[in-house]
Chain A
Amino acid sequence: MMELVCPAGTPAALRAAVEAGAHAVYCGFNDETNARNFPGLNFNREEMAEGVAHAHARGAKVLVAINTFPRAGDQGLWHRAVADAGAAGADAVILADIGLLAHAAEKHPGLRLHLSVQAAAANPDAINLYAESFGVKRVVLPRVLTVDEIAAINREIDVETEVFVFGGLCVMAEGRCALSSYATGKSPNMNGVCSPASHVAYAEVNGAQEARLGEFLIHRTPKGATAPYPTLCKGCFSSPDAKGNDQVGHIFEDPASLDATHLIPALQKAGVSALKIEGRQRSRAYVAQVVRAFRAAVEAADRGLPMPESLLAKLTEGQASTTGAYAKIWR
């Protein structure tokens, strides 16, 4: 059976994920070493050790994401995170930075290494380099590949692949997106935050809800209409057309979340080892509902049964879902 890797932003979400059937839970420390460094979120050292013990007692693994890029002269914070994850009993650490991978491979040879999606390793040569140089055992593939491309990669590598099947969808190559940095000076790569809450402002203006990121008006939503996250890539902007009239639209991508439930059998056939659910910033209500649904889907795929109908639309950004790049339906 493919491994179901589920998000947890808090100890309560970790327990919810395990109880809902997660084979593995991924989480991070409450600092900028992980790419979901949001206010009130994540685990201190004690909570991490307790979370690992809770998961292990119930047969689930814990993978610790330390997937931002260390700052020059301040690598100690990231080194300590790797050491503390190992001490807490983590089953693997999820890393993106090549220097941190080298450090972990050298100083913690017994610790299993996964390559974060933030490393954006999207071809066999890149993946094999990480595997041969640092002993990486699993690669989380960026969300820019088709199912056929994933199958082609799996034929040329010896490590496991993990792919996203549900949740917020980055439309850029992960780890290489500078939009949040451009708007706010902070990015998921360096600070662990895309569109940090500290730079987001909502206001009701003339009966509509306006969302601003830094100095940019991201979107103006009529009252009661569906709203997306305040990220530049999902923003709705206006620009003058050839006649000087305002044209309004989503420049990069419509606000929609990934839901690849129906592609699970194809991903299994393509040699994928693990399926990942996005959403460490979401509540335990989200975690419980999504994990339950995907555990049922993974079990159905394992028995060759049809995929269940997804009932998760209301949990998705923009209340709409897409199969993203897997089926290449980009406009």
Chain B
Amino acid sequence: MMRILSDPSVKLLGRSIPLPTPPLTPLSMLFSRLMRHVLSRHPSILRRMGATAGSRFLIQVTDMPFPILLEPSLRRLTVVPRRAKPAHDTEIRGSLKAFLAMLHAEEDGDALFFSGQLEISGDTSSVVALRNALDDAEIDLTEEIASLAGPAGPALRRMSALLERRTGLSLSRRRLGEDPEDHSR
């Protein structure tokens, strides 16, 4: 059922150069720290999820080199090796662009599902609960990271805005009336 992703690589002069495997443990520690921070700022997430917070969500970001295992009640976000198949209750698969757009309310989760840009398998109740809980939390990823970064926060916000312009990815929450396609801020 789980799809094995191809090795991460970059094209250089027509040749595919493999990227080094990311250091997973430090990344996991960083991600889990961010997750604990988000959950402490948005306690309604776990409350809304209820018993489904105990589910294990395997997030397959199709254009990232590694899957992520999300365990809300353990407040843990673990980067797992590409070929590992950790035990999970549900799997969600989509592009980084789709996940970020959904998180920041630029795209509707059901619409992404209707169009085949988001695929799920396993325990559907847990996926629905997670989606609804995150949608209500109105998370702004840049603000979450910046608020964790202390004095480096302002620089991180500027870097995020630059990255948004360069990549077209949604890295922060837009307020009503702002054009979701406009990444020039």
Contact = CB atoms under 8 A, between A and B. Distances in A.
Interface string A1-23: 00000000111110010011000
Nearest to B118: A227
A200 B105 contact: no
Given A12-B135, A38-B128, A198-B125, A315 B111 contact: yes
A6 B111 CA distance: 18
Contact of A197 (B113, B125, B137): B125
A242 B50 CA distance: 51
A14 to B, nearest CB: 10
A87 B99 CA distance: 39
Contacts of B106: 285
Contact of B116 (A20, A225, A288, A315): A225
A39 B176 contact: no
B163 to A, nearest CB: 21
B7 interface: no
Given A223-B116, A314-B115, A40 B110 contact: no
B124 interface: yes
B138 interface: yes
A221 interface: yes
Contact of B121 (A202, A228, A283): A202
B114 A318 contact: yes
A39 B125 contact: yes
Contacts of B116: 209, 221, 223-227
Nearest to A224: B116
Contact of B105 (A39, A202, A283, A315): A283
Interface string A36-52: 00111100000000000
Contacts of A197: 124-125, 127-128
A203 interface: yes
Contacts of A39: 49-50, 52, 125-126, 128-129, 132
Interface residues of B, number: 37
Contacts of A220: none
Contacts of B137: 12
Nearest to B137: A12
A285 B132 contact: no
Given A197-B124, A227-B113, A13 B108 contact: no
B120 interface: yes
Contacts of A203: 1, 121
Contact of A40 (B121, B129, B176): B129
Contacts of B124: 197-198, 200-202
Contacts of A41: 128, 132
Contact of A286 (B3, B111, B127, B129): B111
A318 B130 CA distance: 23
Given A202-B124, A285-B135, 13 more contacts: A10-B135, A16-B105, A39-B129, A40-B132, A202-B121, A203-B1, A226-B116, A284-B138, A285-B102, A285-B107, A288-B105, A315-B110, A318-B114
Interface of A: 9-13, 16, 19-20, 38-41, 196-198, 200-204, 209, 221, 223-228, 281-286, 288-289, 314-319
18 contacts: A10-B136, A12-B136, A19-B176, A38-B128, A39-B129, A198-B125, A202-B119, A202-B120, A202-B122, A204-B3, A227-B116, A282-B108, A283-B102, A283-B135, A284-B135, A314-B111, A315-B111, A316-B114
The 10 closest A-B pairs by CB, nearest first: A40-B132, A40-B129, A39-B129, A10-B136, A286-B108, A285-B105, A197-B125, A200-B124, A197-B124, A285-B108
